[in-house]
């Protein structure tokens, strides 16, 4: 077994463990941190495949930006995750068994001699000066131009959806229109009312009676 | 590759659609709630211009562009025109409904039109990657549209269910695609078909991937055993959005399946025929039988959709050009019918009241005999009663399986459509023979009334002369599927 194979299996074991903990960890912050570990480990897999740009992008974008944001959300929202996951452990034995059976079946098919996976040879190693970024850029902006632009639109739709679903004109908002505010005149704010003077004696007795009650 | 190689003309309608919707998105910011009608009219105008552009660039043969990730062929032209018309009708039908429920907002239009753009890509993709991107664009818009009525608990819940199951289905599809890529070394439909046809690809891996792809596609079509989301989503989402999910996306999903299975994995026809046969049989059985037990009409229509998907698959199972055109014809007819069915539900709903249960339809004839007649046409057509269009659609797909010798499947389909007739006729019974419970006047905008009437009467008129529509479908299919 070559060194790379050992690294591959170690990384895979960590990845599976981390992914498992993401869904089983009780504390949501721990789950998010395990997800960070999962992303980081997959970045290791990319490195093994000599896709260093993708590996770095995964760490920078997912671990650096997305997950940090996610952690903020988890910490700020007061969600009772225990309540949300009620019944998780109750259904876990059945779900786990079904999952294991599926994994075993898939493994049986893929590892059978008929599948002859050994006919797939490892790709030839890249030249020492091969540039990942250059190749990726060329592909994205030429061959895969359409899917790339579509991805941009998917993100735009995500923004529209996020704003559409969360923006809410609150009833208690103290919204001020500056234009209206500037145009205000004295008459809008102060109203001078002509009225007869109030008799003082009545007010005084009121105050006294209130004090007595207190 | 340079700019001269990039032939943008075949994709002109999509490019227009994407740019126009982006402009609409910005324009809408300056439109006050009271004048939202401007956005509505502009959306309809965008659809009309896109349809005209589509006709202008249509060619009677397939043109590939964007490095073979995009194809414009007669099939895509026909289906896209049908989708523009469908979306147009959906927007007109849902105007009053949305206005009454506070979802007559800019996002409603931009998301609907982006969903249409996604469907256009699904219909016109010739590469696994662009197929998938189109699908995701459509799905994301639909999830958001369902949840747009944010204060409604059922809507949020069904959006969540749709989202989670949709993500699962996308995962299955991607996993299958990765297996096919591993076996054939390409993601381009034509190259995949060529590699499989040459027999150089790893057969076990291919079939392994195919299973996941078929499962993912069945999820997206809403066919049994991957149908669990359909009734909940139809029932929970606002009727206008249920109409949107039930109409144009079915056309897109059909072509999507056709591109995957026929154009990409065509040489594996013997393998997917069997899988689809199981899915079709289960869909027809469970869809029709479960629909009988429903009292909520949206849920009933959802189960009816499931059974219709089963019928549609019959055409694909045939595995020849006649079968595919029959299935295309079936999809177009199904969309016409479901537009009328949901359109009537929208017409009968008003502010604070959703027409949802069978009781709400009771005595419709006493309240308004014209809408009663339109609903009758839709229900008879869905049940497949001649001389309505639905009959010819069922006839075409059943004939296509008879032609390949699967008589048992045809007999089963006929029996199931007989069982299905029960619940469609029950709706008609409610409308004509029961006394009205709800006697509020039915107020419908003039434009919607006109379009709905045209739509329903088309079921009857086109039913008298189905040959034209059938010929269109056959022609489009023949010119597009050169591999056959």
- Which tops the pLDDT comparison, B449 or A188? B449
Closest-CA residue of A relative to B106 is A164
Q: Is A161 a member of any domain?
A: yes
Asked if B291 contacts B307 with a C-beta cutoff of 8 angstroms, the reply is yes
B156 and chain A: CB distance < 8 Å anywhere? no
pLDDT digit string, tens, across residues A117-132 = 777 777 777 777 888 8
Q: Cβ of A109 and B208 within 8 Å?
A: yes
**Best of A158, A164, A165, A169 to mutate (most B CBs within 10 Å, chain B):** A164
Q: What is the DSSP letter of A35?
A: H
Q: Is A189 a member of any domain?
A: no
Cβ contacts from A onto B, under 8 A: 90
Asked if B256 contacts B123 with a C-beta cutoff of 8 angstroms, the reply is yes
B484 confidence band (pLDDT: 50, 70, 90): very low
Q: What is the mean pLDDT of chain B?
A: 92
Task: Assess whether A56 and A136 both reside in one domain.
Answer: no
Structure tokens at B405: 């010798």
A206 confidence band (pLDDT: 50, 70, 90): low
Asked if B416 contacts B300 with a C-beta cutoff of 8 angstroms, the reply is no
Q: What is the mean pLDDT of chain A?
A: 85
Q: How far is A64 from chain B (nearest CA, A)?
A: 24
Q: Cβ of A150 and B1 within 8 Å?
A: no
pLDDT digit string, tens, across residues B197-239 = 988 888 888 999 999 999 999 999 999 899 999 999 999 999 9
Token pair 């996610």 in the structure block, residue: A70
Task: Assess whether A114 and A136 both reside in one domain.
Answer: no
Q: Which residues pair with B103 in a beta bridge?
A: none
**Rounded Cα gap, residues B208 and B199, in angstroms:** 16
Model pTM score: 0.90
Q: A175 — alpha (psi -120 to 50), left (phi > 0) or beta?
A: beta
Nearest to B250 by CA among B358, B363, B335: B335
Please give the average per-residue pLDDT across B78-88, as a whole number.
96
pLDDT digit string, tens, across residues B447-463 = 999 999 999 999 999 98
**Rounded Cα gap, residues B37 and A133, in angstroms:** 47
pLDDT digit string, tens, across residues A34-61 = 999 999 999 999 999 888 899 999 999 9
Please give the average per-residue pLDDT across A193-214, as a whole number.
66
The domains of chain B are located at 3-480
Question: Kindly report the CA angle at B68 between B67 and B69, in degrees rounded to 5?
Answer: 95
Q: Is the pLDDT assigned to residue A76 strictly greater than 90?
A: no
Task: Assess whether A8 and A106 both reside in one domain.
Answer: yes
Q: Cβ of A160 and B121 within 8 Å?
A: no
Task: Assess whether A103 and A80 both reside in one domain.
Answer: yes
Task: Assess whether A21 and A119 both reside in one domain.
Answer: yes
pLDDT digit string, tens, across residues B337-392 = 999 999 999 999 988 888 888 888 888 888 889 999 999 999 999 999 988 999 99
Q: Cβ of A157 and B144 within 8 Å?
A: yes
Task: Assess whether A96 and A45 both reside in one domain.
Answer: yes
Q: Cβ of A157 and B205 within 8 Å?
A: no
Share of chain B above pLDDT 90, in %: 77
Nearest neighbour of A160 by CB, restricted to B25, B133, B204: B25
Which residues of chain B neighbour A177 with C-beta distances below 8 Å?
Answer: none
**Rounded Cα gap, residues A51 and A49, in angstroms:** 5
Which residues of chain A neighbour B147 with C-beta distances below 8 Å?
Answer: 165
pLDDT digit string, tens, across residues B53-72 = 999 999 888 899 888 899 99
Q: Is A103 a member of any domain?
A: yes
pLDDT digit string, tens, across residues B116-145 = 999 999 999 999 999 999 999 999 999 999
Q: Is the pLDDT assigned to residue B9 strictly greater than 70?
A: yes
Share of chain B above pLDDT 70, in %: 98
**Rounded Cα gap, residues B111 and B144, in angstroms:** 8
The CATH number for A37's domain is 1.20.120.1200
Structure tokens at A192: 């001078």
Q: Is the pLDDT assigned to residue A72 strictly greater than 70?
A: yes
Task: Assess whether A106 and A157 both reside in one domain.
Answer: no
**Rounded Cα gap, residues B188 and B402, in angstroms:** 33
Q: Cβ of A165 and B140 within 8 Å?
A: no
**Best of A49, A106, A150 to mutate (most B CBs within 10 Å, chain B):** A150
Q: How far is B470 from chain A (nearest CA, A)?
A: 33
B128 and chain A: CB distance < 8 Å anywhere? no
Closest-CA residue of B relative to A145 is B66
Nearest to B378 by CA among B431, B315, B326: B431
Nearest to B15 by CA among B49, B40, B63: B49
- Model pLDDT, residue B46: 97
CB atoms within 10 A of CB A108: 10
Task: Assess whether A141 and A80 both reside in one domain.
Answer: no
B121 and chain A: CB distance < 8 Å anywhere? yes
B238 and chain A: CB distance < 8 Å anywhere? no
The full DSSP string for A139-186 is: HHHTTTHHHHHHHHHHHHHHHHHHHHHH----TT-----HHHHHT--H
- Model pLDDT, residue B14: 95
B131 and chain A: CB distance < 8 Å anywhere? no
Sign of the dihedral defined by the CA atoms of residues A11, A16, A22, A24, in that order: negative
Report how far apart the first and last C-alpha atoms of chain B are (Å, whole number).
Answer: 30
Nearest neighbour of A116 by CB, restricted to B6, B137, B202: B202
Closest-CA residue of A relative to B107 is A164
Q: Is the pLDDT assigned to residue A73 strictly greater than 70?
A: yes
Give the domain range for residue A142: 131-168
- Model pLDDT, residue B130: 95
Q: How far is A79 from chain B (nearest CA, A)?
A: 17
Q: Is the pLDDT assigned to residue B5 strictly greater than 90?
A: no
Q: Is the pLDDT assigned to residue A205 strictly greater than 60?
A: no
- Model pLDDT, residue A78: 73
Q: Is A208 a member of any domain?
A: no
**End residue of a domain, out of A125, A157, A189:** A125
Q: Is A184 a member of any domain?
A: no
Q: Omega into B22 within 30° of 0, i.e. cis? A: no
Task: Assess whether A65 and A45 both reside in one domain.
Answer: yes
Q: B193 — alpha (psi -120 to 50), left (phi > 0) or beta?
A: alpha
Closest-CA residue of B relative to A158 is B140
- Model pLDDT, residue A49: 87
Task: Assess whether A58 and A153 both reside in one domain.
Answer: no
**Rounded Cα gap, residues A104 and A98, in angstroms:** 10
Structure tokens at B422: 């029960």
Task: Assess whether A101 and A140 both reside in one domain.
Answer: no
What are the backbone dihedrals phi and psi of residue A82, each rounded to the nearest 5 degrees, phi first?
-60, -40
Token pair 């109750």 in the structure block, residue: A90
Which residues of chain B neighbour A119 with C-beta distances below 8 Å?
Answer: 202
Q: Is A34 a member of any domain?
A: yes
**Rounded Cα gap, residues B114 and B17, in angstroms:** 8
**End residue of a domain, out of A91, A125, A159:** A125
Question: Kindly report the CA angle at B456 between B452 and B462, in degrees rounded to 5?
Answer: 135
pLDDT digit string, tens, across residues A139-184 = 999 889 999 999 999 999 999 999 988 887 666 777 778 888 888 8
Q: Is A108 a member of any domain?
A: yes
Sign of the dihedral defined by the CA atoms of residues B41, B42, B45, B47, in that order: negative
Sign of the dihedral defined by the CA atoms of residues B93, B95, B97, B103, in that order: positive
pLDDT digit string, tens, across residues A88-98 = 788 889 999 99
Number of domain units in chain A: 2
Q: Is A176 a member of any domain?
A: no
Q: Omega into B205 within 30° of 0, i.e. cis? A: no
Q: Is the pLDDT assigned to residue B335 strictly greater than 80?
A: yes
Task: Assess whether A98 and A64 both reside in one domain.
Answer: yes
- Model pLDDT, residue B149: 86
Q: Which residues pair with B353 in a beta bridge?
A: B350
């Amino acid at each position: 077994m070559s060194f790379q194979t050992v690294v591959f299996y170690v990384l895979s074991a960590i990845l599976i463990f981390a992914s498992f903990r993401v869904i089983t960890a009780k504390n949501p912050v721990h789950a998010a941190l395990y997800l960070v570990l999962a992303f980081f480990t997959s970045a290791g897999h990319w490195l093994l495949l000599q896709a260093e740009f993708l590996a770095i992008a995964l760490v920078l974008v997912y671990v650096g930006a997305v997950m940090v944001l996610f952690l903020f959300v988890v910490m700020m929202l007061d969600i009772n995750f225990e309540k949300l996951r009620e019944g998780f452990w109750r259904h876990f034995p059945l779900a786990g068994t079904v999952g294991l059976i599926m994994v075993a079946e898939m493994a049986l098919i893929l590892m059978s001699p008929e599948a002859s996976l050994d006919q797939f040879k490892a790709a030839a190693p890249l030249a020492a000066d091969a540039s990942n970024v250059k190749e990726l850029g060329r592909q994205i902006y030429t061959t895969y131009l359409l899917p790339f632009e579509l991805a941009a639109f998917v993100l735009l739709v995500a923004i529209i959806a996020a704003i559409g679903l969360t923006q809410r004109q609150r009833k208690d908002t103290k919204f001020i229109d500056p234009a209206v505010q500037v145009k205000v005149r004295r008459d809008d704010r102060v109203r001078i009312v002509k009225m007869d003077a109030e008799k003082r004696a009545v007010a005084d007795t009121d105050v006294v009676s209130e004090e007595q009650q207190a | 590759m340079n700019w001269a190689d990039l032939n943008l003309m075949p994709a002109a309608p999509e490019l227009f659609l994407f740019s126009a919707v982006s402009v609409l998105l910005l324009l809408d910011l300056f439109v006050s709630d009271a004048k939202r009608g401007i956005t509505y009219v502009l959306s309809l105008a965008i659809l009309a211009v896109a349809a005209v552009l589509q006709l202008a660039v249509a060619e009677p043969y397939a043109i590939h562009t964007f490095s073979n990730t995009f194809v414009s062929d007669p099939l895509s032209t026909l289906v896209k025109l049908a989708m523009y018309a469908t979306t147009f009708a959906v927007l007109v039908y849902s105007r009053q409904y949305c206005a009454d429920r506070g979802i007559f907002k800019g996002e409603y239009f931009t998301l609907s039109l982006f969903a249409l753009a996604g469907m256009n890509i699904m219909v016109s993709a010739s590469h696994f990657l662009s197929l998938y991107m189109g699908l995701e664009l459509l799905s994301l818009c639909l999830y958001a549209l369902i949840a747009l009525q944010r204060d409604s608990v059922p809507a949020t819940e069904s959006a969540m269910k749709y989202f989670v199951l949709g993500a699962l289905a996308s995962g299955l599809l991607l996993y299958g695609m990765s297996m096919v890529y591993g076996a054939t070394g390409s993601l381009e439909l034509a190259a995949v078909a060529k590699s499989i046809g040459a027999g150089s690809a790893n057969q076990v891996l291919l079939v392994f991937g195919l299973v996941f792809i078929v499962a993912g596609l069945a999820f997206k079509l809403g066919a049994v055993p991957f149908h669990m989301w359909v009734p909940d989503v139809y029932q929970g989402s606002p009727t206008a959005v249920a109409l949107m999910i039930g109409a144009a996306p079915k056309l897109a999903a059909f072509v999507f399946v056709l591109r995957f299975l026929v154009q990409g994995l065509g040489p594996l026809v013997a393998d997917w025929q069997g899988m689809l046969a199981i899915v079709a049989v289960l869909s027809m059985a469970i869809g029709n039988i479960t629909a009988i037990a429903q009292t909520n009409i949206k849920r009933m229509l959802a189960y009816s959709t499931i059974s219709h998907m089963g019928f549609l698959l019959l055409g694909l199972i045939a595995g020849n050009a006649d079968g595919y055109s029959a299935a295309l014809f079936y999809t177009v007819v199904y969309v016409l019918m479901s537009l009328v069915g949901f359109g009537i539900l929208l017409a009968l709903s008003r502010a604070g009241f959703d027409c949802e249960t069978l009781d709400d339809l009771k005595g419709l004839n006493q309240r308004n005999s014209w809408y009663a007649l339109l609903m009758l046409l839709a229900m008879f057509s869905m049940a497949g009663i001649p001389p309505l269009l639905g009959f010819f659609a069922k006839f075409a797909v059943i004939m296509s399986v008879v032609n390949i010798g699967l008589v048992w499947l045809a007999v089963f389909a006929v029996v199931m459509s007989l069982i299905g007739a029960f619940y469609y006729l029950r709706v008609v019974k409610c409308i004509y023979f029961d006394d009205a419970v709800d006697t509020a006047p039915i107020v419908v905008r003039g434009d919607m009334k006109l379009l709905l009437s045209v739509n329903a009467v088309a079921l009857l008129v086109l039913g008298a002369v189905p040959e034209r529509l059938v010929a269109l479908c056959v022609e489009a299919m023949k010119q597009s599927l050169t591999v056959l």
